[in-house]
Structure 1
Amino acid sequence: MKKTYSLLLIIIFSLVVTSCFKDRDDDFQHASTIEIQDFIYNAMQTFYLYKADKPVLANNSFSSTNERNQYLNGFNTPEELFADLLSSQDRFSFLVDNYIELEQAFNGTTTNNGMEFGLVQLQSTGEIFGYVRYVLPNTSASQNNLERGMIFNRVDDQVLTENNFNQLLSSNNYSIGLASFENGILTPLDETISLTKQEYTENPVFIAKTLTIEGQKIGYLMYNGFRQNFDSELNNAFADFKADGIQDLVIDVRYNSGGSIETCNDLASMVTGQFNGELFITQVYNDNFDDFERDFNNKISTDESINSLNLSKVYILTTGSSASASELLISGLMPYVDVKQIGTTTVGKFQGSTTLYDSNNFRRNGDNLNLNHTYALQPLILKSVNANGFTDYVNGLNPTIEVNEDYSNLGELGDPNESLLKAAIDDIFGNGRPSGRTQPLEIKNIGESKMYNATYQRMYVETK
């Protein structure tokens, strides 16, 4: 029998109000540390997925209020308390001291210079370099003619190292020093480019086009974030695919670190359509709540009808930057259609979270919201289980066809000759699989531009 949310869970998972509060600095009474820590403890005790791992979160862990306050007062900051409450198997829960910035990030609004990059290290020499993955339109990067595939190894004239890259690349203004990378050799170049970050809202539907190859229509979607406020744009892309009569579909989530579970559910329903009302995933919570079954559906968050393709096979391109909702898309579709995963192994995040605020029911717009601080939690509260019972893929999802990106020749995204897309097209036409790795094993991925975002590798709950 299908389980349902408890009344409390329905209330808590109501759509978060995303408009920002006005600046209330003058109104703040500046909540005490113990006040904030009391909120953090209550929220974790109620919702934390791994509550059972922490005896201190048990409902009967304290015999009196004084004993509980003594525990809370043992921590100097909210951050210290939060760290103490985390399970050793939790890699993703976090605490913020400014939830307004977090809400903006969930809508795709960040401070951004438009250069989306990856960072890698040559294991033979220890050298670190960045490579441009793609460039966002109408940004400092696009105005300065940055292009996918460009290599850089210096920031503000300092060579990138394991100790400085975080500090250098998190700045609002910096210059990059270009380099070349050929035959495993990194060579600095004289050219530098200055970049400036500004507030920017990224449309995650980066490329959506129909390729015609040997008379066959193939849809290609590069999708860079599961953002519910762009559901209409995503649905419109599928309307175009449907009108074009595509026979095969390639979804590129190689740089997609996740986002909304609801949007992922909708995207899976766009790919298919023939499974409306059948189980997509089960959301499993701690013992305080019933599990929740999420079905394939025919409406997006705006109540528009989903443009479904009724496909029985889909190609999904992944890398080690594909996380959470990107992995959920693969897992949720696997019991129903032939999923051909091409690229490299994903991150391994099957858990979801939600934002909890200091109010009577932990909602942003709930009664008695504490206006004297802007702390909020984003704890793991659920794990996803597909219709076949598959979950706990802590080591990531392995590709059907393994192809690495070649940093010395990344190719153009959406070009049929780009290595990952070419592997999908070759499989569509039965031209055989690639012979193996295209990237030397001695190169290690160490970071990317999105790791500076509050929503990095997050999968979270929203409702319509």
Structure 2
Amino acid sequence: MIKFNKSWLFAILLLFILTACKKDDDNDKQEETTVVEVLDEIMKEWYLWNDELPSLDVSNYNDLNTYFNDLLVDQDKWSFIANLDALLAFLNNGTYTGYGFDLQFEEGNNTPRVSLVYDQSQLYDAGITRSWKLLEINNQTTSSMNEDQIRDKLRDNSVSLLFENNSGEQKTLDLIKKEMNQNTVINSTMIPGQSKKVAYLVFDSFLGSSKAELNEAFNYFNAEGAEELVLDMRYNGGGSTEIANQLAGLISGNTYQGEIFSKYIFNESKSSENFNEAFSNQASAYGFNRVFVITTAATASASELVINSLKPYMGAENIKLIGSKTHGKPVGMNVFEVEKFNLAVLPITFHITDKNNMGYYFNGIPVDHAVEDDTTHDWGDIDESNLKAALDYINNNAFPAVTARAKKGYKREFVRKGLDELISAF
């Protein structure tokens, strides 16, 4: 999760602005610091594990990313540096350059399926949705390619793709990369034909643009008189803690406004920065007595924060997790702007807990009902295994005895890190 300052224009994160500073020598001369010196200064002061930083010889490095990664402790899988302009564009509006979709593999299957499509993607315009198979890239079958080969092909500025749906219909799209904004609410709908009025929300990232999208979704649920909520965050890797606070308030209906939402604990030398954050007031808050959350190992950071922080208020029995255990990131980062070098430094800087100091879930948050991620159905399809499990509980007060249980074999993954992991799309 990423923390910004509420006084910043977009009111998203606690932002520490650090430009390349200057220092006086004995002759009162001004000498500009190097990017490595600025990086070292940030890490020594703010890094959560700053007492474990190694002493590195910068002359052995010709790449800043490699130098930065070698500073990190083994436990830290998340700290990164990035182009400042690109990072802020994404955190504000989900802006990135790409094709506007992502892929997932089924376990034991070498042909990837479309896992999500953004509204500004050409796939969306062509009617290609989650569950379609990607059969070919530039006339080469994806089943004959490894993950790196698929990813490398989709890094090109143009590509020809052949898709097929579950009925055998095929479509070929010739795509050119373009700048677009990711919508973070992928789907918000009411599920028909249930014993109660069930709201279904697919939420993909906690970004500045999420605020209006979430308010619109909950205003819709309010107008429809929703009684139950299924919150699908299976691919949500996190983002702004302020948006996490917003989502928690929308779900709980401002019931806990002013009470502790989360606690932030910095390194020992920065313990004076420790603080508690209260639930903020949400004009579009609706309020549910319980929530069913669909999760996978890609559910991380701010997503886990919402789950962990609501449990002591709503009760663990009223927050049902379905799918597979979450990623396990009970820590967060601040954004340090180094404007001179157009560099953003995002080191892990704090632990985060609920009001009762519960956190430290580095092994992930376990689920109440294990179900395989089902990419063979579109969002909101009542036959999709995770949504079906939630609906069975809502209708029968129990999870199904027979379901698509989470498998434990090998599943191919597209490995991403840093800003690529935040964007998490082709």
Contact 2:131 2:165 in 1 (8 A): no
Residue 376 to residue 394, structure 1, CA distance change in 2 (3 Å)? same
State the partner residue of 2:280.
297
State the partner residue of 2:386.
420
Bigger Cα displacement from structure 2, 44-53 vs 211-220: 211-220
Say which of 49, 72, 84 aligns to 1:99: 84
Say which of 66, 76, 79 aligns to 2:65: 79
Q: Could you tell me how far apart the structure 2 residues matched to 1:152 and 1:178 are?
A: 5
1:447 to partner: Cα distance: 2.0
- What is the TM-score with the length of structure 1 in the denominator? 0.76
Aligned amino acid, residue 133 of structure 1 = S
What is the 5 A alignment of 1:234-249?
234-249=214-229
State the partner residue of 1:217.
197
Q: Could you tell me how far apart the structure 2 residues matched to 1:352 and 1:150 are?
A: 35
1:260 to partner: Cα distance: 0.6
- Gaps of at least 5 residues in structure 2 are 12-30
Residue 439 to residue 175, structure 1, CA distance change in 2 (3 Å)? farther
Asked if 1:444 corresponds to 2:411, the answer is yes
What is the 5 A alignment of 1:308-387?
308-337=285-314, 338-358=318-338, 369-370=339-340, 373-387=341-355
Contact 1:93 1:378 in 2 (8 A): yes
Q: Could you tell me how far apart the structure 1 residues matched to 2:95 and 2:160 are?
A: 23
Bigger Cα displacement from structure 2, 144-153 vs 255-264: 144-153
Asked if 1:274 corresponds to 2:240, the answer is no
1:310 to partner: Cα distance: 3.3
Residue 16 to residue 73, structure 1, CA distance change in 2 (3 Å)? farther
Residue 374 to residue 110, structure 1, CA distance change in 2 (3 Å)? same
- Gaps of at least 5 residues in structure 1 are 1-9, 19-31, 57-69, 183-187, 300-304, 359-368, 459-464
Asked if 1:396 corresponds to 2:364, the answer is yes
Q: Secondary structure at the match of 1:200?
A: strand
Contact 1:218 1:249 in 2 (8 A): yes
Contact 1:105 1:455 in 2 (8 A): no
Q: Could you tell me how far apart the structure 1 residues matched to 2:291 and 2:170 are?
A: 44
1:280 to partner: Cα distance: 1.2
Q: Could you tell me how far apart the structure 1 residues matched to 2:409 and 2:57 are?
A: 47
Query: Per-residue CA shift, 1:12-47, capped at 9, x if unaligned?
Result: 7752789xxxxxxxxxxxxx9971111111111121
State the partner residue of 1:15.
8
Q: Secondary structure at the match of 1:398?
A: coil
Asked if 1:165 corresponds to 2:165, the answer is no
1:264 to partner: Cα distance: 0.4
Aligned amino acid, residue 429 of structure 1 = N
Say which of 364, 373, 398 aligns to 1:405: 373
Q: Could you tell me how far apart the structure 2 residues matched to 1:180 and 1:418 are?
A: 15
State the partner residue of 1:130.
112
Q: Could you tell me how far apart the structure 2 residues matched to 1:103 and 1:11 are?
A: 11
Q: Could you tell me how far apart the structure 2 residues matched to 1:416 and 1:51 are?
A: 48
1:377 to partner: Cα distance: 0.8
Residue 201 to residue 11, structure 1, CA distance change in 2 (3 Å)? closer
Contact 2:235 2:295 in 1 (8 A): yes
Asked if 1:47 corresponds to 2:38, the answer is no
Bigger Cα displacement from structure 2, 142-151 vs 251-260: 142-151
Contact 1:117 1:133 in 2 (8 A): yes
Residue 214 to residue 257, structure 1, CA distance change in 2 (3 Å)? closer
Q: Could you tell me how far apart the structure 1 residues matched to 2:418 and 2:174 are?
A: 21
Aligned amino acid, residue 437 of structure 1 = A
State the partner residue of 1:38.
37
Residue 452 to residue 87, structure 1, CA distance change in 2 (3 Å)? closer
Q: Secondary structure at the match of 1:206?
A: strand
State the partner residue of 1:233.
213
CA RMSD, 1 decimal: 3.1
Between the aligned residues of both structures, percent identity stands at 28
State the partner residue of 1:143.
125
Residue 146 to residue 310, structure 1, CA distance change in 2 (3 Å)? closer
Q: Could you tell me how far apart the structure 1 residues matched to 2:334 and 2:178 are?
A: 27
Residue 163 to residue 227, structure 1, CA distance change in 2 (3 Å)? closer
- What is the TM-score with the length of structure 2 in the denominator? 0.82
Q: Could you tell me how far apart the structure 1 residues matched to 2:48 and 2:166 are?
A: 44
Q: Secondary structure at the match of 1:164?
A: helix
1:147 to partner: Cα distance: 2.6
Q: Could you tell me how far apart the structure 2 residues matched to 1:440 and 1:81 are?
A: 38
Residue 144 to residue 241, structure 1, CA distance change in 2 (3 Å)? closer
Query: Per-residue CA shift, 1:329-367, capped at 9, x if unaligned?
Result: 111111111211111122111221122122xxxxxxxxx
Q: Could you tell me how far apart the structure 2 residues matched to 1:33 and 1:168 are?
A: 41
1:75 to partner: Cα distance: 3.5
Contact 2:103 2:112 in 1 (8 A): yes
Query: Per-residue CA shift, 1:175-223, capped at 9, x if unaligned?
Result: 23447899xxxxx999754332211112212222233544521211111
Residue 455 to residue 16, structure 1, CA distance change in 2 (3 Å)? farther
Q: Could you tell me how far apart the structure 2 residues matched to 1:205 and 1:190 are?
A: 27
